[in-house]
Amino acid sequence: MRVFFIGFGQAGGKIVDMFLAHDKKLQNSSFRGIAVNSARTDLLGLHNIDMKDRLLIGQTVVKGHGVGTDNVCGAKITADEIDTIINAIDTRGTHDIDAFIVVAGLGGGTGSGGTPVLCRHLKRIYREPVYALAMIPAPEEGRLYSYNAARSLATLVNEADNTFVFDNSAWKEEGESVKSAYDRLNEELVRRFGVLFRAGEVGQFGVGEMVVDSSEIINTLRGGGISTIGYAISDVITKTKPKKSFFSGFGKKDKEGSSLTGEDKSAKIIGLVRRAMLGRLTLPCDYTTAERALVLVAGPPNELDRKGVEKSKSWVEENIAGIEVRGGDYPVGSNYIAAVVLLSTIGKAPRITELLEQAKETKQDVIKSVDRKSNLFEDAIDPLFE
Ligand SMILES: Nc1nc2c(ncn2[C@@H]2O[C@H](COP(=O)(O)OP(=O)(O)OP(=O)(O)O)[C@@H](O)[C@H]2O)c(=O)[nH]1
């Protein structure tokens, strides 16, 4: 799939930067991206997005210092400067893309406020689908962050064609602070979504037996709402080491041995897909409530197996609410075989329910505290001037 990424705010910019870095490393050109932010220093910290594709907004209001976790301000400056943002996107070129993906952390101000506004305008202007990839904050970041995320997400689901969610709290280790975990979390996120978003692109290893076209991904996401993905990898048993690794960075040693038979390959793929769906999802949820799914298996061509993918699809279909399960394979040069399961339009995710409940409580508390303040000077003496 050819993707146009817009990284909104600090987290969004960093993640798009990383998607482009992976693309470069793989000598691919499936992805292009720009970064939009109200903080100048955040934009300067990026490495793989061209300087001309880093857009500073809200200069007259916040003078390049960010909106300070005020997502209403983030939404306002985005709306005020929407023409400048659209112009930057057009300048970068959109004629050959399959989808837009706006990436942001929803707990802050710029990305949280700006993403729903941008999605609305992109949908109005372009025919291509507009997706959001949203990171939700850990509860320990504080109530303001949760409140921002809940408000932004509730708006976003009505503006984007689908929203992929990554839950920071589900991915950080016990005792690890979210901040120190960011680099690791971002690697996990980009690796998973990278395999999905690259599907359908013809690489140097040819076309798969059961190609997953970008239209399969788009149709899987058609129901809207929120989506999550699962991912699992397994070593490939090879006699010789492939030259370039697609899923590099896992730090495991190559294994020597003989290739698997057809039955073994099928079993391995089914096992992998089960692990992907039953393991940790980007947003942990009740997978039985998913309306649609897509199964993607990527690995060296001689490890891919049509029967294995077909059986995996049937297994996923038996386990989700809907009946639409698409799938296919994707040949890459690697010592690993990877399975991605996209669960789309999910109906139940405890973390989202919690976030929305928390936001309602926060709103009530804010109203109460405003009332308390107004009571304090209710019967006060006349002010010096009105
Ligand atoms: N996964 C991940 N999440 C991040 C990262 N940085 C920040 N976040 C999350 O994103 C939220 C928003 O943070 P930022 O992106 O810094 O905020 P912003 O959009 O730049 O907005 P302002 O700084 O308020 O102008 C935070 O509350 C975190 O939950 C990151 O590198 N990775």
CATH of the domain at 99: 3.40.50.1440
Mutate to test the pocket of ligand 1, among 10, 112, 141, 193 (most ligand atoms within 8 A of CB): 10
Distance from the alpha carbon of residue 110 to the mean position of ligand 1, in angstroms: 9
The answer to whether position 76 is within a domain reads yes
Is 94 in a helix, a strand, or coil?
coil
Kindly state whether residues 118 and 41 are assigned to the same domain: yes
333: nearest Cα among 204, 196, 238: 204
104: nearest Cα among 217, 31, 5, 28: 5
Kindly state whether residues 130 and 255 are assigned to the same domain: no
Select from 180, 197, 214 the last residue of a domain.
197
Kindly state whether residues 94 and 189 are assigned to the same domain: yes
CB-based pocket (< 6 A), ligand 1: 9-11, 14, 38-39, 66-69, 104-105, 107-112, 135, 137, 141, 145, 168, 182, 185-186
**Phi, psi for residue 226 in degrees, rounded to 5:** -115, 150
265: nearest Cα among 230, 296, 311, 229: 311
Query: Are the CB atoms for 191 and 133 separated by under 8 Å?
Result: no
Residue 53 is predicted with a pLDDT of 97
What is the chain's mean pLDDT, rounded? 90
Distance from the alpha carbon of residue 16 to the mean position of ligand 1, in angstroms: 13
Residue 60 marked as a ligand binder: no
161: nearest Cα among 216, 114, 119: 119
Residue 236 is predicted with a pLDDT of 83
Give the residue, by CA position, lying nearest to ligand 1 atom 12: 108
pLDDT at residue 252 greater than cutoff 50 = no
Position in ligand 1 atom list of the atom nearest CA 168: 1
Is 206 in a helix, a strand, or coil?
strand
Beta strands 130-136 and 3-8, pairing class: unpaired
Kindly state whether residues 229 and 180 are assigned to the same domain: no
Q: Rounded to an integer, what distance in angstroms lies between the CA atom of residue 282 and that of residue 105?
A: 14
Give the residue, by CA position, lying nearest to ligand 1 atom 18: 9
The answer to whether position 209 is within a domain reads no
Q: CB within 8 A of 182, min separation 6: which ones?
A: 11, 14
174 vs 319, more confident: 319
Kindly state whether residues 180 and 95 are assigned to the same domain: yes
185 sits in which H/E element: helix 178-198
Token output for 21: 């870095």
Residue 264's Cβ-side half-sphere holds a number of Cα atoms within 13 Å equal to 8
211 vs 131, more confident: 131
353 vs 140, more confident: 353
The answer to whether position 357 is within a domain reads no
Radius of gyration from C-alpha coordinates of the chain? 22
Q: For 120, which DSSP code?
A: H
Kindly state whether residues 148 and 233 are assigned to the same domain: no
Distance from the alpha carbon of residue 94 to the mean position of ligand 1, in angstroms: 27
Q: What CATH code is carried by the domain that includes residue 241?
A: 3.30.1330.20
Select from 197, 212, 238 the last residue of a domain.
197
pLDDT at residue 357 greater than cutoff 80 = yes
DSSP string over 282-294: SS---GGG-SEEE
| Residues 167-210 pLDDT 10s | 999 998 887 876 779 999 999 999 999 999 998 776 666 666 67
Query: Are the CB atoms for 54 and 46 separated by under 8 Å?
Result: yes
134 sits in which H/E element: strand 130-136
Percentage of residues in the chain having pLDDT higher than 90: 74
**Phi, psi for residue 87 in degrees, rounded to 5:** -65, -40
Residues 5-19, mean pLDDT to the nearest whole number: 98
Please report where in the chains the tokens 């897909």 appear, as a residue. 273
The answer to whether position 370 is within a domain reads no
13: nearest Cα among 31, 30, 36: 36
Kindly state whether residues 232 and 192 are assigned to the same domain: no
pLDDT at residue 346 greater than cutoff 80 = yes
Kindly state whether residues 64 and 168 are assigned to the same domain: yes
Domain limits for position 258: 225-344
Token output for 213: 């076209």
Kindly state whether residues 29 and 138 are assigned to the same domain: yes
Residues 319-345, mean pLDDT to the nearest whole number: 94
Residue 208 is predicted with a pLDDT of 63
Residue 111 marked as a ligand binder: yes
End-to-end CA distance of the chain: 61
Kindly state whether residues 118 and 7 are assigned to the same domain: yes
Select from 197, 213, 242 the last residue of a domain.
197
Distance from the alpha carbon of residue 46 to the mean position of ligand 1, in angstroms: 14
Percent helix, percent strand, percent coil in the chain, to nearest 5: 45, 20, 35
Residue 94 marked as a ligand binder: no
Kindly state whether residues 184 and 243 are assigned to the same domain: no
Residues 237-265, mean pLDDT to the nearest whole number: 55
| Residues 262-302 pLDDT 10s | 678 899 999 999 999 999 999 999 999 999 999 999 999 88
Name the domain count of the chain: 2
Kindly state whether residues 38 and 177 are assigned to the same domain: yes
26 vs 7, more confident: 7
Distance from the alpha carbon of residue 13 to the mean position of ligand 1, in angstroms: 9
Residue 203 is predicted with a pLDDT of 63
Q: Is the alpha carbon torsion for 211, 286, 274, 5 positive or negative?
A: positive
The answer to whether position 375 is within a domain reads no
The answer to whether position 220 is within a domain reads no
CA dihedral 202, 206, 209, 210 (to 10 degrees): -10
The confidence band for 19, taking pLDDT boundaries of 50, 70 and 90, is very high
Residues 312-320, mean pLDDT to the nearest whole number: 97
Q: Rounded to an integer, what distance in angstroms lies between the CA atom of residue 140 and that of residue 120?
A: 31
Token output for 114: 């700006």
The answer to whether position 61 is within a domain reads yes
The answer to whether position 13 is within a domain reads yes
pLDDT at residue 335 greater than cutoff 80 = yes
